[in-house]
A and B are shown apart, each in its own frame.
Chain A
Amino acid sequence: MQVDKETYLLLLLSDANLPTGSFVASAGLESTAAHALFHVPATPPGSDTLPFSETHTLPFARDAHRVTTAYASGEMTELDEALQALSRLDALYDASTLNHVARRASCAQGAALLTLYARGFTRPPFLMLKTPTTYLPLLDERENRAGALVAALKLRVRRGDSDAPGHLPICWGVLAGALGLTVDRGAYIHLFLHARGVLSAAIRMNALGPYAAQQLLLHAVKHMVDDALTSSAHVVSGALQDEIDPEHAEDRLPATTWPLGDLLAARHDLLHSRIFNS
């Protein structure tokens, strides 16, 4: 059986053991449950909610992905130009995420993704010697440029540069772009991994059983992800486009659709006992 590169990458990226830093993040679920606002779906089918409001991050991930692809392919020539575009996205995401717990979790996971690419997805030196020389120039150029961008961003984030907070959607877009995924595929996996992460947190909180979680993943999450992708298709981050006048934004700006979730997440640090960082 021959598998194309993108499918193979999907297998790698959906590995539950992939070090993405999401293990300690519950996406506000722990706080939601502590405040008696998490209603577990009964089995068999009964009630409701799965807190799931990631659509406002997608435009940022997509834009960061496009910047990365443009730089890696050589379409955008200067590294500085790419870094500045990413910095604008990062700053806007920072200003749009008004709850400090979510910002903290986002930066921690973003940094983890950059490290993941740098240490888990780049080609190790000993393998380069065995690459057929006819492929070497093409592969190296794109991979080199992608690697350089990730390294430069990672350095800025590590240094604590004020213009490089290194938020999760931006770093995800950079990772997906560096790996050569399409923008749509990158967005899809981002949503899937988020949904799966929330379910995984629910299992560890003993709020959901592992089998029930699998049922949700197969029968419910797919529709939710599809829904989220189509409903956010027209939304732009606003960082790389011309300044959007809020009155005439026609709802193209990323928006919060679950304000209660934001409030609950911001109260995470007030929980008396907690097993997650956020």
Chain B
Amino acid sequence: MSNATVVLDAGDGNITARIHNNHVVFPVLSYTYPLKLLSPRIQQDGVAVVYMMTYGGGLVGGDRISLSINVEQDAQLVLLSQGSTKVFKARSGVRAAARSTARPPDSTTMQRLDVSIAAGGALFLLPDPVTCFRNASYRQAQTFRLAHGASAALLDWYTSGRRARGEEWAFARYYSVNEVFVSSVRSARDVVLLEAMGTESASDVCGEFLPRRTLADRMGPYSCYATLLLYGPLVQGVIRELEDRVQKITVFQVREPLDVLWSLSPVSGQTNGRIVRVAGKETEEVKKWLSDALRGGLVSVIGDEVYSKTFI
């Protein structure tokens, strides 16, 4: 494959991970502002780590990040971030990361991830959660195409905002689409739309009898939600542990909502995939839960050194 020069738009990134003599190398690892990619050297064979970062540690309305990842046969890639992705509300003026001025200014922050994973390959997407600040508008589209025999652990999570500033689900909009295709057949499509309620609606007319009007009412008392998709041979250990855990749960009528709630469901179809959902009153509790739940199954695949970099 030739190394043709590709013109990248602002916020674009490309990663190709390939196995070479039992090490993972990057024939392609490119990025443009405000996206930055960093790959630290690690001891473990067969696996590599890439940190996805944004300059300034945050994104503003109008920013667009688009990352394409190609994990080749038998390569294992761990994708992390350094701190929660912070999404600020729109500011006026033209941003350096904004797309061509031909398009009308947009107050939405957009992140796009397109991944393909070859047989024997694996992607462990374990970033920090997305935090949308007051009045922010955020949208993400993540598409994962797995070959038969590919593995993936895909974590996607978000929080209610800066609680220290009293932001409890105070953003304007959060829209997320996660799609997984296995052998070109759609296996899962998870679409979440969270919007601050508008001022005009039938609910206002009818007042008290109607469903809660604010996003905080519908999401509360939890302030962090996580979704984890699991596919392929290399995550079967994780799946087995989770299934053991869920067998031990019996829910008796409670008077107060539990601090952390989680569920495990098989993904329909022939893929033996699983989906884990977690909600917690505190982000730290969800983080701890995830870290504990995945440790056993993942350390045996990616090793201690790499796993210790996750869920910090």
Contact = CB atoms under 8 A, between A and B. Distances in A.
A226 B202 contact: yes
Given A98-B275, A223-B203, A247-B110, A257 B193 contact: yes
A37 B219 CA distance: 11
Contacts of B275: 98-99
Nearest to B265: A100
A63 interface: no
B141 to A, nearest CB: 4
B186 A223 contact: no
Contact of A219 (B206, B217, B252, B269): B206
Given A94-B268, A259-B277, A267-B261, A251 B246 contact: no
A267 B260 CA distance: 13
Contacts of A255: 175, 191-193
Contacts, number: 155
Interface stretch (A6-14, A42-50, A64-72, A135-143): A42-50
B263 A266 contact: yes
Contacts of B14: none
B188 interface: yes
Interface string A244-269: 01110101011111111011101100
A224 interface: yes
Interface residues of A, number: 58
B4 interface: no
A245 B143 CA distance: 10
A11 to B, nearest CB: 26
B268 A34 contact: no
Nearest to B255: A36
Nearest to A31: B251
Interface residues of B, number: 59
Given A247-B112, A247-B141, A271-B251, A48 B203 contact: no
Interface string B205-219: 111111110000111
A172 interface: no
Contacts of A50: 210-211
A32 to B, nearest CB: 10
B179 interface: yes
Contact of B202 (A223, A249, A253): A223
B311 to A, nearest CB: 20
A169 B141 CA distance: 26
A266 B265 contact: yes
Given A246-B143, A246-B177, A256 B209 contact: no
Contact of B209 (A31, A220, A227, A272): A220
Interface in B197-236: 201-203, 205-212, 217-219, 222, 225
Given A220-B209, A246-B179, A262 B251 contact: no
Given A246-B141, A247-B112, A255-B191, A36 B256 contact: yes
Contacts of A52: 211
Interface in B247-287: 249-258, 261-270, 275, 277-279
Contact of A223 (B194, B205, B269): B205
13 contacts: A34-B253, A35-B258, A48-B212, A95-B187, A101-B265, A223-B203, A249-B141, A257-B195, A260-B219, A260-B222, A262-B277, A270-B250, A271-B250
Instruction: Kindly list the 9 A-B residue pairs having the minimum CB-CB distance in the complex, ordered from nearest.
Output: A45-B208, A266-B263, A220-B209, A246-B177, A255-B193, A246-B141, A223-B202, A255-B191, A100-B265
